Amino acid sequence: MIITVDGPSGSGKGTLCQLLAAKLGYHLLDSGALYRLTALAITRAGVSLGDESAVAAVARELAVVFNVSAQEQSVILQGADVSAEIRREEVGMLASQVAAMPLVRAALLQRQRAFVESPGLVADGRDMGTVVFPEAEVKVFLTASSEERAKRRFLQLQERQVQGKGESPNMAVILADIEDRDARDRSRAASPLVPATDALQIDSSTMPIDAVLAEVLVQVSQRLASLESGLT
């Protein structure tokens, strides 16, 4: 069973995928982390964004380990924990540029498909249902207005600031960054952010995450029941 969840950043995809994977006992693929890791690795290696082949080579050779436990997911790159570092705004912006490169997307394709494992996979990204797992049994496209997504990001950053882990966030800058990144993700030629034709589309702007989870779980149960009864 493969469940794909695609959508823009801040739509609640990450939270939904974690809840789905925990509830169903499935594995989790955070494909955005692979693009973020590539962005971090090229910065460290001093590879220029202008050299697409070299960026793709870095993506192909990423020495990464995902450690998943019930409490948290940590990401280890070349032996060091980079979980917090890959979530930084600059890494996200660079990841969006790296993700527009067809050679990088091709380099990461098999690595993403290798995450499929019994009893099932929840795959979080932008092109999970369209390109990476077009055969997925359940596809979700989760959206929310850019204002609502900026508000969620602002609250997250504010919480981090209170814990002494970051600078004071600026709502206007966050909204502009979100709109910039969305435009790039939606308009790129290689695997743009678009809903699969057979995706269940959900707008989470005014929906609590539990309600989104419940709606997707209904879809999953119906799909499992039809697979068990031999229908497709």
Please pick, from the candidates 21, 77, 185, 199, the single residue that binds ligand DC as defined by CB under 6 A.
185
Closest residue to ligand DC in the complex (CB):
32
Nearest CA to 138 out of 225, 215, 230, 200 is that of 200
- Residue closer to ligand DC, measured from CB, 126 or 139: 126
Contact between 177 and ligand DC per CB under 6 A: no
Cβ atoms within 10 A of the Cβ of 74, count?
A: 14
Which whole-number Å values give the CA distances from 231 to 198, 199, 224, 225, in the listed order? 17, 19, 10, 9
Residue pair 147/42 in contact by the 8 Å Cβ criterion: no
The strand pairing partners of 77, in sequence order, are 64, 80
Contact between 38 and ligand DC per CB under 6 A: no
Calculate the CA 201 to chain-centre distance.
16
Contact between 36 and ligand DC per CB under 6 A: yes
Contact between 152 and ligand DC per CB under 6 A: no
Residue pair 16/202 in contact by the 8 Å Cβ criterion: no
Contact set for ligand DC, span 77-96 (CB under 6 A) = 92, 95-96
Please pick, from the candidates 125, 136, 138, 144, the single residue that binds ligand DC as defined by CB under 6 A.
125
Calculate the CA 32 to chain-centre distance.
4
Minimum Å gap between C-beta 225 and ligand DC is 29
Contact between 181 and ligand DC per CB under 6 A: yes
What's the CA gap between 86 and 88, in Å, rounded? 6
What's the CA gap between 178 and 60, in Å, rounded? 27
Please pick, from the candidates 2, 21, 55, 127, the single residue that binds ligand DC as defined by CB under 6 A.
127
Please pick, from the candidates 11, 31, 38, 204, the single residue that binds ligand DC as defined by CB under 6 A.
31
205: tokens are 């702007």
Minimum Å gap between C-beta 13 and ligand DC is 7
Minimum Å gap between C-beta 10 and ligand DC is 8
Contact between 107 and ligand DC per CB under 6 A: no
Q: Can you give the binding site for ligand DC, defined by CB under 6 A? A: 9, 31-32, 35-36, 92, 95-96, 99, 125-127, 181, 185
